[in-house]
């Protein structure tokens, strides 16, 4: 997606370009299956260094914004139980927070259909990186979040063996050795440079 000033803005897990050849991943990225992906939300930069181009993602200003109702936030899942997931909000839009804040996703806010069929452990796992929207401030400074919507949910994570996961479908993610269930965010189309 392009910002108002023409810069390319990305979200965690978004495929940026092919790796190898003249492009390598730098800060704010990771490489998986011959592609470079964003590991944090922010602005994409490509810096030439000799015959190669280093692809980086920077999140811009730190600690200047706080979540508010309607904000899209990037979170790391801390804990999952049958009724809710506890998360640490690390970014609001493309801005990284200086100090992460707490949030929760209740079972009824995971998706907007078949709510009674939601099994939290099949939607999120600890250390997954997710996109969510702030519903309200909630209780005791825990923001109440929702992942109901196709563009919200898990964007990246690691399997039980520690390998990076990438989206395979709306309900699964895969790594080099296995497929795991998740509430997956809409896969972004690849960016070419």
DSSP conformation letters of 153-190: EEEEEE-TTSPEEEE-SSSEEE-SS-EEE--BPPPPPP
Read off the CATH number of the domain in which 53 is found: 2.40.50.100
Same domain, 51 and 65: no
Domain membership of residue 98 as a residue range: 60-187
pTM above 0.85, yes or no: no
Read off the CATH number of the domain in which 140 is found: 2.40.50.140
Same domain, 36 and 97: no
**What spatial distance separates the first Cα and last Cα of the chain, rounded to whole Å?**
13
- Please enumerate in sequence order all residues whose Cβ is within 8 A of that of 15, keeping only pairs 6 or more positions apart, or say none: 35, 36, 37, 188, 190, 191
Same domain, 79 and 22: no
Same domain, 115 and 175: yes
Structural domain total, the chain:
2
Same domain, 41 and 72: no
* Rounded Cα–Cα distance for residues 80 and 131 (Å): 16
On whether residue 127 sits in a domain, the answer given is yes
Same domain, 87 and 162: yes
pLDDT, tens only, 36-89: 888 777 888 888 888 888 888 887 654 457 788 888 999 999 999 999 999 999
Same domain, 51 and 93: no
Here the tokens at position 126 are 């600890």
Q: Mean pLDDT across the stretch 20-34?
A: 83
């Amino acid at each position: 997606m392009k910002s108002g000033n023409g810069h390319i803005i990305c979200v965690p897990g978004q495929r940026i370009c092919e790796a190898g050849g003249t492009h390598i991943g730098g800060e704010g990225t990771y490489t998986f299956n011959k592609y470079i992906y964003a590991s944090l939300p922010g602005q994409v930069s490509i810096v030439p260094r000799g015959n190669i181009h280093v692809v980086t993602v920077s999140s811009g200003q730190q600690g200047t914004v706080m979540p508010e109702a309607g904000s899209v936030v990037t979170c790391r899942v801390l804990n999952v139980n049958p009724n809710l997931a506890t998360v640490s909000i690390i970014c609001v839009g493309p801005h990284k927070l200086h100090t992460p804040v707490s949030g929760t996703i209740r079972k009824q806010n995971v998706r907007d259909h078949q709510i009674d069929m939601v099994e939290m452990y099949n939607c999120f796992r600890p250390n997954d990186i997710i996109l969510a929207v702030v519903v309200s401030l909630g209780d005791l400074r825990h923001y109440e979040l929702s992942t109901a919507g196709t563009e919200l949910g898990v964007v990246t994570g690691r399997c039980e063996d520690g390998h990076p996961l990438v989206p395979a479908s709306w309900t699964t993610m895969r790594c080099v050795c296995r497929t795991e269930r998740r509430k997956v965010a809409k896969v972004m189309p690849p960016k070419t440079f």
